[in-house]
Amino acid sequence: MDSTKQAAADSVLLRNSVEAAIRIGLVAILVFWCYAIVRPFITPIVWGVIIAVAIYPIYQRLNALLGGHQKIAAFLITLTFLVILIIPSVLLAATLVDSVQFLAKGFVSGTLTVPPPPESVASWPIVGEPLSRFWELASDNLEAALHQIAPHLKVVGSWLLSTAGGTGLGILQFIVAVIISGVLLAQKESCKHFAEMLMKRFAGERGQRFTELSEATVRSVALGILGVAAIQSLLAGLGFIVAGVPAAGLWALLCLLLSVIQIGITPIVIPIIIYLFNTADTFTAVAFLIWSIPVGLLDNILKPIFLGRGVATPMLVIFIGAIGGFLASGVVGLFIGAVILSLGYELFMAWLQDGEQVNSPPVDSE
């Protein structure tokens, strides 16, 4: 009798285990299938959420001016951001194409020349003499100089081509992300409710606090890091264009990337200043130098203002997030990585602080 009951119990347990395994397997297949479907849209969706959170205060003001017409306000702000994005992108592409055509025509026709190096270059420490010899060779025989560095040019050229392709894809993703951010702003109440429910599901009573912290972190980093980098690179690019620097769009793009990873525009601007003092007239070179000084120092003024409004994320976290995001997702990941890792860092630190408060002994009032 006991063996019969045991066999029946084992049979039920086996049947329940098989059913549970089948259900778990079906759920895993469904989750994987959903992930495979939405995977191409993950980056634009995340980027759209970041943009929506960052520009929400602007959207609120515009919505108030329009008398509470949320969809109209979302449409106008989306259209404005698309125009701001598309026009510089077209100018950047046109500048790059014109620069490449100019260099190619000059090299084929033999009219492309390099001015001789100043005598002071040879006195520079470490790199002065080899740089002066190579510069002198390039001014006398450009073809021989290019042949000498041909292996390095191939590496740099392949990197530039891949970067250009990634930049084009990144711009397309960013356009899609701006549209997604407009949709999220138009449905702000539903999105806010969903975010609060999600955080409450994960963090319980602390969900509301973590939601507010996430919003503050995203807005702080987006404005303090990405916003300042965009402003600084645009002003630097404007100086490049006015001064007549070849491939101004490319240098502006490099300024943007270096600003995001917290290196700054100085490694790009200083060689261009030296180039202008050796090739352009004195007025242009001096004017560009005067323009570059405040532009180069602009991040020291704006960054504390914007970052001080939200959370103080260590620069190392932002740097690792930007580099890791770039390696994982290309140019767009450079921006998303900084925001996502900063958000994760702030949530982790808030979780540690909450745990410390819970475990701390009560203070004796006597």
Domain assignment present for 2:
no
* Band (29; pLDDT cuts 50, 70, 90): very high
Predicted confidence (pLDDT) at residue 190 exceeds the cutoff of 90: no
Predicted confidence (pLDDT) at residue 110 exceeds the cutoff of 60: no
- Mean predicted confidence (pLDDT) in 100-119: 63
- The end-to-end CA distance of the chain, in Å, is 68
Mean pLDDT (the chain, rounded): 75
Domain assignment present for 281:
yes
Predicted confidence (pLDDT) at residue 366 exceeds the cutoff of 50: no
- 172-182, pLDDT tens digit by residue? 777 888 888 88
Predicted confidence (pLDDT) at residue 316 exceeds the cutoff of 70: yes
Domain assignment present for 364:
no
Number of structural domains, the chain? Answer: 1
Domain assignment present for 170:
yes
Domain assignment present for 130:
yes
Would the pTM count as exceeding 0.75? no
- Mean predicted confidence (pLDDT) in 315-333: 73
CA dist 360 and 366 (Å) reads 18
- 337-360, pLDDT tens digit by residue? 777 787 788 778 777 876 666 555
Domain assignment present for 276:
yes
Q: How much is the pLDDT for 32?
A: 92
Q: Which domain holds residue 136?
A: 40-351
- Mean predicted confidence (pLDDT) in 154-177: 65
Domain assignment present for 366:
no
Q: How much is the pLDDT for 102?
A: 62
- Mean predicted confidence (pLDDT) in 277-291: 85
Domain assignment present for 254:
yes
Predicted confidence (pLDDT) at residue 36 exceeds the cutoff of 80: yes
- Mean predicted confidence (pLDDT) in 326-333: 69
Q: What percent of the chain has pLDDT over 70?
A: 69
